[in-house]
Amino acid sequence: MTEIAPSGLRIDAGGDQFPVSGERPRLSWLPLDDADGYELAADIDGVGQPMAAVSSHRLNAWPWRDLTSGERVRWRVRGTGGAWSDEHVFEAGLFDRDWTAEWISPADADQQAYGKRPGHLFRRDVVIGQDVVSARLYSTALGVYEAFVNGERVGTAELSPGTTSYDTTVYAQAADVTAALRAGGNLLELVVTDGWYLGQVGAFHAPAAWGGDRVAARAELHLRLADGSTQVVRTDGDWTSWSSTIVRAGLMDGQATDSTVRPRPLGPVRVGVVAAPPVSWSPAPPVRRIEERAPRALNRLTSGAWIADFGQNASGWTRLTDLGPHGARTIVEHGEHLDPAGDLDMSHLDSEREGDGLVVLDQRDEVVSAGEPGAVFEPRHTIHGFQYARITREGAPLRAEDVRMVVVNTDLAPTGSFRCSDDDLNRLHEVAAWSFLGNAVDIPTDCPQRERLGWTGDYQVFASTAVRLFDVHGFTRKWLQSVRDDQLDDGRIANFSPDGRQVKHHPELQIAQMTGSAGWGDAAVHVPWVLYEAYGDRDELAANWGTMTRWVEWALETARTRRHPSRVQRSSEPLPHEEFLWDGSFHWGEWCEPKLRGADGELIDPVAADPMAWFMEDKGEIGTAFLHRSVSELARIARVLDRRADADRYDEVAGRVLEAWRTEFLRSDGRTAKDSQASYVRALSFGLIPQDLRAASAARLVELIRASGTHLGTGFLSTADLLPTLAETGHADVAYELLFRRTSPSWLGMLDRGATTIWEDWDGVDENGAAHESLNHYSKGAVVRFLHTHLLGLDQAPGSVAWESFVLRPVPGGGVTWAEGSHTTPQGTIEASWVIEDGRIVVKGRVPAATMGTVVLPDGTTVTVGAGAFRLSGAV
- In three-state form (DSSP H/G/I as H, E/B as E, the rest C), the secondary structure along 533-595 is HHHCCHHHHHHHHHHHHHHHHHHHHHHHHCCCHHHHHHCCCCCHHHHHCCCCCCCCCCCCCCC
Average pLDDT over residues 186-209: 93
Q: Write the pLDDT tens digit of every residue in 691-718.
A: 999 999 999 999 999 999 999 999 999 9
pLDDT of amino acid 610: 80
CB 272 within 8 A of CB 164: no
CB 796 within 8 A of CB 803: yes
pTM: 0.97
Contacts of 874 (CB under 8 A, 6+ apart): 840, 841, 843, 857, 858, 859, 861
* pLDDT band of 765, cuts 50, 70, 90: very high
- 19 vs 92: CA distance, rounded Å: 8
pLDDT of amino acid 394: 84
Q: Write the pLDDT tens digit of every residue in 51-81.
A: 999 999 999 999 999 999 999 999 999 999 9
Q: How many helices (H) and strands (E) does the chain have?
A: 18, 49
CB 391 within 8 A of CB 403: yes
For the chain, the maximum distance between any two Cα atoms, rounded to a whole number of angstroms, is: 86
pLDDT of amino acid 714: 96
Q: Write the pLDDT tens digit of every residue in 271-302.
A: 999 999 999 999 999 999 999 999 999 999 99
Pairing of the two strands 20-21 and 88-92: parallel
Q: Write the pLDDT tens digit of every residue in 801-847.
A: 999 999 999 999 999 999 999 999 999 999 999 999 999 999 999 99
Average pLDDT over residues 137-159: 98
* pLDDT band of 1, cuts 50, 70, 90: very low
Which phi and psi angles does 460 have, rounded to 5°?
Answer: -60, -40
Q: Centre a 10 Å sphere on the Cβ of residue 48 and count the other Cβ atoms it contains.
A: 10
Contacts of 590 (CB under 8 A, 6+ apart): 622, 676, 678, 714, 715, 716, 717, 718
Average pLDDT over residues 328-356: 90
Average pLDDT over residues 498-510: 91
462-481: burial string, b at 16+ Cβ within 10 Å, e else: bbbbbbbbbbbbbbbbbbbb
- 220 vs 201: CA distance, rounded Å: 30
CB 236 within 8 A of CB 251: no
- 70 vs 93: CA distance, rounded Å: 5
Sign of the C-alpha dihedral, residues 759, 816, 721, 494?
Answer: negative
Q: Chain-wide mean pLDDT for the chain?
A: 95
